[in-house]
Amino acid sequence: MALVEINFDGLIGPSHNYAGLSPGNLAATRSAGAVSEPRAAALQGIDKMRANLKLGLTQGIFMPLARPDHRWLASLSTDYADAPMHLKAQALSASAMWAANAATVSPAPDTADGRCHLTVANLVTMPHRSHEWPGTLAQLRMAFADPAAFVVHGPVPPPFGDEGAANHMRLCPAHDAPGIEVFVYGVSGGPFPARQHRDASEAIARAHGLNPDRTLFVQQSEAAIAAGAFHNDVVAVANERVLFAHEHAFADRDAFFAELSRLMPEVEIVEVPAARVSLSDAIASYLFNAQLVTPPDGQPTLIVPTEARDNAAVWSWLEDHLAGNGAIRRVEVVDVRQSMANGGGPACLRLRVVADPTTIDPRFMVDAARLDRIAAIVERHWPERIAADAIGDPALIAQAEQARRALLEAEGLVGLINT
């Protein structure tokens, strides 16, 4: 069985809009009320997947969820026509596009039964995301249906907040070798909620059958959360031997780094000092919400948003690191401005799964030709713009629902239409 890292990107849905629903996510709250561009957003995401394929990476895809979520509204004894505006917005949100919040993934080399385990995230902290998990779980169980290779778990129960891979890192000599799994949780975030509970992380580690001696639970710093790092992946990212983090990412960085180095002496810790890149610059540019990957040529590559290139302090640090022959050998820039304006960078848009691609439902894998077909559907059906006052427009709702239906029918995924 050939295990490789697969990036599953969430296709940005036709209801993508800026309703400012996520306290602590500074980009999302800044964009509240702005006009969104769902068609451009989805095409930007597709272009990012194309760029990954050109690097030689293996690429998967998740489909948009049914929005508005009529079942969720029915559970609140209302429907879309009669719901108050804040519930309309929460039911219409396209936030499932951020696949890093879909699940926590432990590859087969780390688990007691030698299978890849995935636990769907409950996302209970934010109302607009709390009803994502049933639709996400349906896709996970379809994509990873091979019982010999995968175990897909339901969510950790409330009130223990779990936001998936955005608060989970894995370090390893190679993707197919046993690794160290790092769960990052929050305790306090000043004016903003800490979204990942330690109890949730510990429950997932138990469910996945992880070795306690190779599993770390690390507290995110209060300063990072208060500055707008609502998930750990806004201030830290790991890949194979490399941990790339901001100086103020963790509550007790010294203890964490010491323990990580003890467990994995070959680890390369690349820490960006606050004197070079402030927390505010790191969060505004999403320097760490980048994809840190190893293409087939073996050169550790950081895929950053255009905002990182546009930030003088961030770009200066990256240039110096590359010039110094640091652990990161290449930087690629992608345009995901529509996602960034709603608070999600390149890493938010993908879920990393280490697996044998032949064990995955091929309807969730993509190549360049399939991305071209999906892009044609997006260009034909996705709304061009959504203004803030349009979310109650029946014509918009009909267009968004028909767009998703057209996509799923074309892609042979009609079983997902009602989930």
3-state SS track over the chain: CCCEEEEEEECCCCCCCCCCCCCCCHHHHHCCCCCECHHHHHHHHHHHHHHHHHCCCEEEEECCCCCCCHHHHHHCCCCCCCCCHHHHHHHHCCHHHCHHHCEEEECHHHECCCCEEEEECCCCCCHHHHCCHHHHHHHHHHHCCCCCCEEEECCCCCCCCCCHHHHEEEECCCCCCCCEEEEEECCCECCECCCCCHHHHHHHHHHCCECHHHEEEEEECHHHHHCCCCCHHHCEEEECCEEEEECCCECCHHHHHHHHHHHCCCCEEEEECCCCCCHHHHHHHCCCCCEEECCCCCCCEEEEEHHHHHCHHHHHHHHHHHHCCCCCCEEEEECCHHHHHCCCCCCCCEEEEEECHHHCCHHHECCHHHHHHHHHHHHHHCCCCECHHHCCCHHHHHHHHHHHHHHHHHCCCHHHCCC
Would you state the torsion angle of the CA atoms of residues 88, 381, 46, 162, taken in this order, to the nearest 10 degrees?
20
The residues annotated as belonging to the active site are 163, 231, 348
Looking at residue 148, what is its pLDDT? Answer: 98
Owner of token pair 């990412």: 249
Strands 116-120 and 168-171: unpaired
CA-based Rg of the chain, rounded to a whole angstrom?
20
Partners of 119 in the β-ladder: 104, 153
| pLDDT digits (tens), the chain, 419 positions | 699 999 999 999 999 999 999 989 999 999 999 999 999 999 999 999 999 999 999 999 999 999 999 999 999 999 999 999 999 999 999 999 999 999 999 999 999 999 999 999 999 999 999 999 999 999 999 999 999 999 999 999 999 999 999 999 999 999 999 999 999 999 988 899 999 999 999 999 999 999 999 999 999 999 999 999 999 999 999 999 999 999 999 999 999 999 999 999 999 999 999 999 999 999 999 999 999 999 999 999 999 999 999 999 999 999 999 999 999 999 999 999 999 999 999 999 999 999 999 999 999 999 999 999 999 999 999 999 999 999 989 999 999 999 999 999 999 999 999 88
What does pTM read for this prediction? 0.97
State the Cα–Cα distance between residues 50 and 243, nearest whole angstrom. 26
**Residue 337, both tokens:** 């401005």
Domain ranges of the chain: 4-416
What spatial distance separates the first Cα and last Cα of the chain, rounded to whole Å? 32
- Report the 10 Å Cβ neighbour count for 333: 17
- The rounded distance, in Å, linking the Cα atoms of 389 and 268 is 49
CATH number of 4-416: 3.75.10.20
Tell me the β-bridge partners of 181: 170, 215
Per-residue pLDDT at 128 = 97
